[in-house]
Amino acid sequence: MDHSNYVIDQMISAKSIAARVEALAEEISQRFADTDKLIVVGLLRGSFVFISDLVRELELPVEVDFLEASSYGNSTESSREVRILKDLRGEIEGRDVLVVEDIVDTGHTLHHVLALLRAREPKRLEVCALLDKPSRREVDDVKATWTGFEIPDEFVVGYGIDYAQRNRNLPYIGKVRFTS
């Protein structure tokens, strides 16, 4: 199937995203109010816009690190084989850690990443996901502590999320509709 022809229909506006990010940051700041430093781990590449907006709203001392995992490549379907392309630079043992994910889909990537991070013995390990597609879940024990928006089973782009490395710069979340 040729995926070069598609249109994007706005699904979640930039204004709605900004309001939700502010609310999430308030809840996260309350949960980690007693921390000396929260290590915010962004899952690259899709979370980079979300993480930058989120950390600016947090009323906590934060350190930002990144981990890159891949299960999609240039496809619209997860391969279910998770590869770590970039690991954390810092140590998380005994620390408060917040994993920031763009979208929880099948759950395979997040399951793999959380197992990897739990083995490093953080004090607390929580997850904040911008989007959640529960209808696609294949791994039952994966759930974000905080979710921005629950969405139906649609292929989406924007606000850091891409299709074949395109459309990350859209200020909103849009549904991709393939045309002939």
The secondary structure of 95-154 as a DSSP string is SEEEEEEEEESSSHHHHHHHHHHHTT--SEEEEEEEEE-GGG---TT---SEEEEE--S-
Per the domain annotation, does 160 fall within a domain?
no
- Here the CATH number for the domain that contains residue 64 is 3.40.50.2020
Q: Give me the pLDDT at residue 79, please.
A: 53
Could you tell me how many residues make up the chain? Answer: 180
pLDDT at 125: 98
178 within some domain:
no
Nearest to 131 by CA among 71, 77, 175, 167: 175
Query: pTM for this one?
Result: 0.91
Is residue 164 included in any domain, yes or no? Answer: no
Q: Which helix (H) or strand (E) holds 160?
A: none
Number of domains within the chain: 1
pLDDT in tens, 98-139: 999 999 998 988 999 999 999 999 999 999 999 999 999 999
Q: Is residue 33 part of a domain?
A: yes
Is 6 within a domain? Answer: no
- For residue 180, being part of any structural domain is answered with no
Residue 140 CA to chain centroid, in angstroms? 18
Mean pLDDT of 133-148: 93
Q: Is the peptide bond before 45 cis (omega within 30 degrees of 0)?
A: yes
State residue 72's pLDDT score: 54
What's the pLDDT tens digit per position in 48-72?
999 999 999 999 999 999 999 876 5
Say if 167 falls within a structural domain. no
* Domain with 78 in it: 14-151
Q: Does 138 map to a domain?
A: yes
Catalytic residues: 105
For strands 6-12 and 38-44, give the pairing.
unpaired
- What is the tens place of the pLDDT at every residue in 19-31? 999 999 999 999 9
